[in-house]
């Protein structure tokens, strides 16, 4: 099979998923609203002390991003599974793992990218300063695709299983821990004046590793689910 | 081939039954010797006093928790690759024992941390990773029980345990990566051990004992799983158990 037809298939999947998301904009807006609300709840719970908020800010933003990404995971495959599109995707000559990359990329554009774009605003709420805001955006830009990558493995594993919403959280959240540590660590260390480069590099490494392994694992899980 | 013969659950069932007593007896004997050496022979630590003696349970339990996760993932991988039922049954049987050792490592770690660090729990990298390992064991078991179709349950939880195996090296290297409160490893392959010889002997004896115990328990659990899954006629010995299960079904 030629390489161009593979890219065409991936492009087709990305276009289709983005188009579907555009037709139902409220779905994508929901996870962003969720993020904003969760982040805004923390000052109400912890108190408005600026020093405290600045300390917990990176962690809170990252945990909220994690949860927002988790909530949108159910949408990646469920509709395609129900209407049979997924079975057609398994049957096409292009490798399933490559098509999965298209699905993951679309998921990231719909649910990850808005988080990245919105994060400086939320960072300001927690009193983060100029350079840390930049590191926050960079860390989310590197980290959220990894979250989508890992998350889709879980989404594929629990496809059509009862109680899948809660189950996917239990499966995926432990796997998110390294990304959370490096992501929040990058912002914290840049605030401490040591610079976030080391943690950002580790985030990049996580992204490369997940890009290499996750689509393949997702493809295996999808085949199992569709057997 | 002898191995392919025993890959059939029917053939493995009696073999496991014959092996279990041996592993159990040696495990109990070694636990006795190891605990005696740990509590009475090994010298008192000049820094940590008597409290350090919990490592004779803690360290072997922590090692076993990680080792069993890898073994479970290997069986899961073999099951996925060769499509062998017995491999999935082994993976299923290993999970509860691994989770038990993970919990034991956390519990004994807390009991050691209170007198030594002054806190039951600290958010140290290795503690946290061990806690996450426990979550992963829970995830593997929950995923299996949530799926009714046995074949899919086997294969899905196998994929998840293989994905989670990426986390085990992170646990191991976390001490070097994050360099926090937990003391560095006292035993290492490259520089040799920094502990007294009797301490090391006791610890290694306990590790061996825990390993033998795991084998015995896992084999008994595999036998239960075989009886549960394969509604076959009685093979040999313990006909009452098999018949009872068949009657219940």
Q: What is the pLDDT of residue B97?
A: 95
A22 reaches B (C-beta below 8 A) = no
Over the stretch A52-77, which tens digit does the pLDDT of each residue have?
A: 888 888 889 999 999 998 888 888 88
A213 reaches B (C-beta below 8 A) = yes
Nearest CA in chain B to A169: B139
Over the stretch A161-172, which tens digit does the pLDDT of each residue have?
A: 887 888 999 999
Contact A217 B128 (CB under 8 A): no
Identity of the residue in A167, A175, A227 whose CB atom sits nearest the CB atom of B163: A175
Nearest CA in chain B to A150: B163
Identity of the residue in A163, A173, A225 whose CB atom sits nearest the CB atom of B146: A163
Q: Which 3 state secondary structure label does DSSP give B187?
A: strand
Contact A225 B166 (CB under 8 A): no
> What residues of A are in contact with residue B143 (Cβ under 8 Å)?
157-158, 167, 171
Over the stretch A82-135, which tens digit does the pLDDT of each residue have?
A: 888 888 888 888 888 989 999 999 999 998 899 999 999 988 888 888 888 889
Q: What is the pLDDT of residue A144?
A: 93
Q: What is the pLDDT of residue A49?
A: 85
Percent of chain B topping pLDDT 70:
77
Identity of the residue in A157, A175, A227 whose CB atom sits nearest the CB atom of B159: A157
Distance CA B9, CA B1 (A): 15
Contact call for residues B105 and B111 (beta carbons, < 8 A): no
Distance CA B7, CA B9 (A): 6
Has residue B175 got a pLDDT over 50? Answer: no
Reported confidence tier of residue B241, pLDDT bands at 50, 70, 90: low
Over the stretch A148-197, which tens digit does the pLDDT of each residue have?
A: 999 999 999 998 888 788 899 999 988 888 888 888 888 888 888 777 78
Chain B, residues 157-196, CB within 8 A of chain A, namely 159-160, 162-164, 166-167, 170, 178
Has residue B156 got a pLDDT over 60? Answer: yes
Fold of B13-248: 1.20.120
For B146, other C-beta atoms within 10 Å of its C-beta total: 20
> What residues of B are in contact with residue A181 (Cβ under 8 Å)?
178
Is 0.85 exceeded by the ipTM? yes
> What residues of B are in contact with residue A221 (Cβ under 8 Å)?
156, 159
Over the stretch A187-225, which tens digit does the pLDDT of each residue have?
A: 888 888 777 788 888 889 889 988 988 999 999 999 998
Q: What is the pLDDT of residue B244?
A: 57
Read off the pLDDT of each residue in B213-219 and give the average, rounded to a whole number: 93
A contact test, residue of B81, B88, B147, B177 with most A CBs within 10 A: B147
Has residue A1 got a pLDDT over 60? Answer: no
> What residues of A are in contact with residue B171 (Cβ under 8 Å)?
none
Over the stretch B68-105, which tens digit does the pLDDT of each residue have?
A: 999 999 999 999 998 888 899 999 999 999 999 999 99
Handedness of CA B3, B8, B10, B16 (dihedral sign): positive
With 0-12 / 13-18 / 19 or more C-beta atoms within 10 angstroms meaning exposed / middle / buried, residue A208 is: exposed
Reported confidence tier of residue B186, pLDDT bands at 50, 70, 90: low
A208 reaches B (C-beta below 8 A) = no
Identity of the residue in B132, B151, B156 whose CB atom sits nearest the CB atom of A221: B156
Query: pTM for this one?
Result: 0.85
* Domain range list for chain B: 13-248
A contact test, residue of B88, B159, B173, B176 with most A CBs within 10 A: B159
Q: What is the pLDDT of residue A206?
A: 87
Over the stretch B102-120, which tens digit does the pLDDT of each residue have?
A: 999 999 988 888 887 778 8
User: Distances from the Cα of B124 to the Cαs of B23, B171, B175, B183, in angstroms?
Assistant: 36, 11, 9, 10
Alpha helices, DSSP H, located in chain B: 2-6, 9-36, 55-82, 85-117, 125-146, 150-164, 167-178, 197-229, 239-248
Contact A224 B156 (CB under 8 A): yes
Residue of B233, B208, B215, B219 whose CA lies nearest to B10: B233
Q: Give the pair of three-digit tokens for residue B59.
A: 């360290």
């Amino acid at each position: 099979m030629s390489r161009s037809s593979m890219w065409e298939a991936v492009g087709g999947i990305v276009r289709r998923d983005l188009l579907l998301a555009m037709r139902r904009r409220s779905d994508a807006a929901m996870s962003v609203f969720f993020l904003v609300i969760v982040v805004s709840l923390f000052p109400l719970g912890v108190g408005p002390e600026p020093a405290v908020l600045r300390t917990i800010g990176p962690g809170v933003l990252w945990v909220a991003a994690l949860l927002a990404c988790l909530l949108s995971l159910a949408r990646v495959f469920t509709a395609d599974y129900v209407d049979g599109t997924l079975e057609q995707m398994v049957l096409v000559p292009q490798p399933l793992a490559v098509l999965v990359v298209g699905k993951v990329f679309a998921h990231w554009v719909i649910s990850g990218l808005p988080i990245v774009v919105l994060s400086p605003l939320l960072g300001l709420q927690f009193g983060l300063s100029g350079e840390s805001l930049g590191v926050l955006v960079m860390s989310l830009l590197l980290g959220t695709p990894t979250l989508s990558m890992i998350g889709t493995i879980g989404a594929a594993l629990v496809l059509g299983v009862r109680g899948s919403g809660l189950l996917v959280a239990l499966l995926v959240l432990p796997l998110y821990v390294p990304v959370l540590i490096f992501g929040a660590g990058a912002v914290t260390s840049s605030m401490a004046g040591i610079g976030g480069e080391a943690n950002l590099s580790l985030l990049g490494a996580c992204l490369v590793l997940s890009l290499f392994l996750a689509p393949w694992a997702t493809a295996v899980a999808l085949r199992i689910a569709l057997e | 081939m002898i191995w392919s013969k025993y890959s059939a659950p029917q053939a493995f069932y009696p073999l496991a039954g014959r092996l279990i007593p041996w592993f159990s007896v040696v495990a109990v004997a070694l636990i006795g010797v190891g605990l005696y050496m740990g509590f009475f022979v090994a010298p008192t630590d000049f820094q940590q006093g008597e409290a350090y003696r919990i490592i004779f349970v803690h360290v072997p339990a922590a090692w076993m928790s990680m080792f069993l996760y890898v073994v479970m993932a290997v069986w899961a991988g073999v099951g996925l690759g060769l499509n062998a039922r017995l491999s999935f049954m082994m993976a299923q049987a290993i999970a509860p024992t691994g989770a038990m050792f993970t919990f034991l490592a956390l519990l004994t770690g807390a009991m050691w941390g209170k007198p030594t660090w002054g806190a039951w729990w600290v958010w140290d990298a290795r503690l946290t990773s061990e806690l996450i390992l426990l979550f992963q064991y829970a995830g593997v078991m929950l995923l299996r029980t949530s799926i009714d179709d046995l074949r899919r349950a086997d294969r899905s939880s196998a994929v998840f345990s293989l994905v989670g195996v990426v986390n085990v090296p992170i646990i191991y290297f976390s001490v070097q990566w994050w360099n926090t409160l937990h003391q560095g490893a006292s035993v290492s392959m490259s520089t040799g051990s920094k502990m007294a010889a009797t301490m090391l002997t006791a610890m290694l004896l306990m590790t061996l004992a825990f390993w033998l115990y795991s084998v015995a328990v896992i084999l008994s659990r595999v036998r239960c799983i075989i009886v549960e899954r394969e509604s076959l006629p009685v093979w040999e010995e313990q006909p009452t158990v098999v018949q009872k299960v068949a009657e219940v079904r």
